[in-house]
Amino acid sequence: MKLQGLLKNVSYEVLQGTDNINISNIQYDSRKVTEGSLFVCIVGFNVDGHHYASSAVVNGAKALLVEENIEGINEHITIVKVSNTRKVIAALADRYYNHPSDKFRLIGVTGTNGKTSTTFLTKSILEAYGKKTGIIGTIENRIGDEILKAHRTTPESLDLQELFYNMVERNVNDVVMEVSSHSLDLHRVDACRFDVGVYTNLTLDHLDFHKTMENYRDAKLKLFNMCDTGVINLDDNYASYMIDNSSCKKYLTYGIDNDEADLNAVQLKMDLGGASFKVTYQGTTYAIKLATPGKFSVYNALAAMGGCLALAIPMETIKEGLEKNKGIRGRFQSFASKKGYNVIVDYAHAPDGLLNVLKSMKEFVKGRIITVFGCGGDRDRSKRPVMGEIAGRHSDYCVITSDNPRTEDPLSIVQEVEAGVKGTNCAYETVVDRLKGIHTALAMAKEGDLILIAGKGHEDYQVLRDEIIHFDDAEVVLGYFETERI
């Protein structure tokens, strides 16, 4: 493809060589560069991609896209300068893959919690409607039934457009994707054409990256300046901010507490096996059953419902799709011990998520709530004591353990969480090793108790300082159950 053509509508300066050349592909990682590549230099959080320009040339790059002047590159290599390479790579990738997001309907879901759950519920509905569906998010990416590994919740723009392209090639009709605040801030979704944007909620998380709640909010807002219809949770504190500052042609609102919402859920009932509620739309009332309990699950169902209504899917099909969903891996996933207690494996890794799960458990627990959890390393530290306090206030016993410590000292993270639990009346202990932590909680469980193992949900690994090991909360629980005698 001609570099000139690729750069159409982009404002740029040729620093060296000519833009009248063919490039074979686009890369942002020098290690993936092949003969004839355009290498895009990105100023990163760890390293500066401009420093890898020479090694990209050694690997075969024919052209470089930069945002800073670089010296010492062979004069036969074309160097093109733009003001923001992250923005431009998104536009180039969209053009390189021939504008794939024009060729299917695209729903983007953003919010602190509930994105993965909402996308899976949406997928169930789209499939009940007979559509071949693509899904992009934390657990995995899917093209119809084909499962692809996801490295990130929202991929880099180049990888995202390539995935879209493969979805088009395989005749996908509709795509539902999680749109993380990081991706909105780092221009990963810049070139996407969203038919629908869904907003779940905004609560404390990711301040390591965004620094303030205002920045975090404004990152989420970006989605609602990129989509035709906005589906907004009217019960959320930031709902009116999102509506007032966005440019959607239409809005559909949902809520439980706010009965002015277009979709208002009432008569919520829950037990360990799931939730049920009623919702009225255009004069008809529908009774809906969900496989996952919790008020938060009803929000996610309403969010999925709103997104699908915006695509003109009938309510009868929406109900069918929601009811076909048998639960989502690591999202309030329950396991029954033959000793008469139950274990819930859940991905709550932020204060609001943890609070919601514990409140839901309180609605039907017969015995005690025992919570095993920790916080991830190299992530927002401010949430650690807050989550500690929430766990302490809403549990009868806590085992504070490790999540993914990454490069941090596991004991220090545990102590920061402990500071929050200490301020409550809850009895607790700290067990840094997660396997031992889970075993500790299971060993003390009695009939009627509910054990919550929070933070890692579907993850089948644990990121330690020097290695990534296999670790799966659900597997640990099932393994322990096999050793139990009645």
Ligand X SMILES: Nc1ncnc2c1ncn2[C@@H]1O[C@H](COP(=O)(O)OP(=O)(O)OP(=O)(O)O)[C@@H](O)[C@H]1O
Ligand Y SMILES: N[C@H](CCC[C@H](N)C(=O)O)C(=O)O
Identity of residue 416: E
Question: Residue 260 phi/psi, 5° resolution?
Answer: -85, -5
In the region spanning residues 148 to 187, those forming contacts with Mg ion, defined by CB under 5 A, are 178
What tokens appear for 258 in the block?
């706010």
Cα gap 70→83, rounded to integer Å: 14
Distance of CA 436 to the CA centre of its chain: 28
246's enclosing H/E stretch is: none
Please, are residues 115 and 349 in contact by the beta-carbon 8 Å criterion? no
Stretch that binds ligand UAG, among 179-187, 280-288, 330-338, 365-373 (CB under 6 A): 179-187
Select from ligand Y, ligand X, ligand UAG, none the partner in contact with residue 292, using the beta carbon and a kind-dependent cut-off of 5 to 8 Å. none
Is 117 marked as binding a ligand? yes
Please, are residues 125 and 311 in contact by the beta-carbon 8 Å criterion? no
Task: Kindly tell me which of 42 and 387 has the beta carbon lying closer to ligand UAG.
Answer: 42
Is 81 marked as binding a ligand? no
Could you give the string, one character per residue 236-255, with x where binding to ligand Y holds by CB under 6 A and - elsewhere? --------------------
Cβ atoms within 10 Å, residue 240: 11
Supply the DSSP symbol for 331.
Answer: B
Cα gap 82→92, rounded to integer Å: 12
Select from ligand UAG, Mg ion, ligand Y, none the partner in contact with residue 42, using the beta carbon and a kind-dependent cut-off of 5 to 8 Å. ligand UAG
Please, are residues 63 and 12 in contact by the beta-carbon 8 Å criterion? no
Q: Which residues contact 276 (CB under 8 A, 6 or more apart)?
A: 267, 268, 269, 270, 287, 288, 289, 290
Which of residues 216, 254, 341, 347 is near ligand X by CB under 6 A? 347
What tokens appear for 304 in the block?
């999925």
Please report whether residue 46 would count as binding ligand UAG according to CB under 6 A: yes
Could you give the string, one character per residue 141-160, with x where binding to ligand X holds by CB under 6 A and - elsewhere? ------------x-------
| Nearest-approach distance from CB 115 to ligand Y, in angstroms | 9
Please report whether residue 31 would count as binding ligand UAG according to CB under 6 A: yes
What tokens appear for 262 in the block?
């277009």
Please report whether residue 254 would count as binding ligand X according to CB under 6 A: no
Q: Which residues contact 19 (CB under 8 A, 6 or more apart)?
A: 3, 4, 7, 12, 63, 78, 80
Q: How many of the chain's residues bind ligand Y (CB under 6 A)? A: 9
Task: Kindly tell me which of 318 and 463 has the beta carbon lying closer to ligand Y.
Answer: 463
Is 319 marked as binding a ligand? no
Torsion angle of alpha carbons 331, 332, 333, 334, nearest 10°? 170
Instruction: Write the DSSP assignment of 392-447 as a string of letters.
Output: HHH-SEEEE--S--TTS-HHHHHHHHHHHHHTSS-EEEE-SSHHHHHHHHHHH--T
Please report whether residue 137 would count as binding ligand Y according to CB under 6 A: no
Please report whether residue 401 would count as binding Mg ion according to CB under 5 A: no
Please report whether residue 178 would count as binding ligand X according to CB under 6 A: yes
| Nearest-approach distance from CB 216 to ligand UAG, in angstroms | 10
Which of residues 99, 132, 182, 368 is near ligand UAG by CB under 6 A? 182
Question: Residue 167 phi/psi, 5° resolution?
Answer: -65, -40
| Nearest-approach distance from CB 116 to ligand X, in angstroms | 3
Which of residues 27, 37, 101, 116 is near Mg ion by CB under 5 A? 116
Select from ligand UAG, Mg ion, ligand X, none the partner in contact with residue 201, using the beta carbon and a kind-dependent cut-off of 5 to 8 Å. ligand X
Cα three-residue angle 210-214-220, rounded to 5 degrees? 75
Binding site for Mg ion (CB under 5 A): 115-116, 138, 178
Binding site for ligand UAG (CB under 6 A): 28-31, 42, 44-47, 49, 52, 138, 152-154, 156, 180, 182-183, 186
| Binding residue positions for meso-2,6-diaminopimelate | 379, 403-406, 455, 459
Binding site for ligand X (CB under 6 A): 111, 113-117, 138, 153, 178, 200-201, 296, 299-300, 331, 346-348, 352-353, 356-357, 457
Binding site for ligand Y (CB under 6 A): 153, 349, 376, 379, 403-404, 455-456, 459
| Binding residue positions for ATP | 111-117
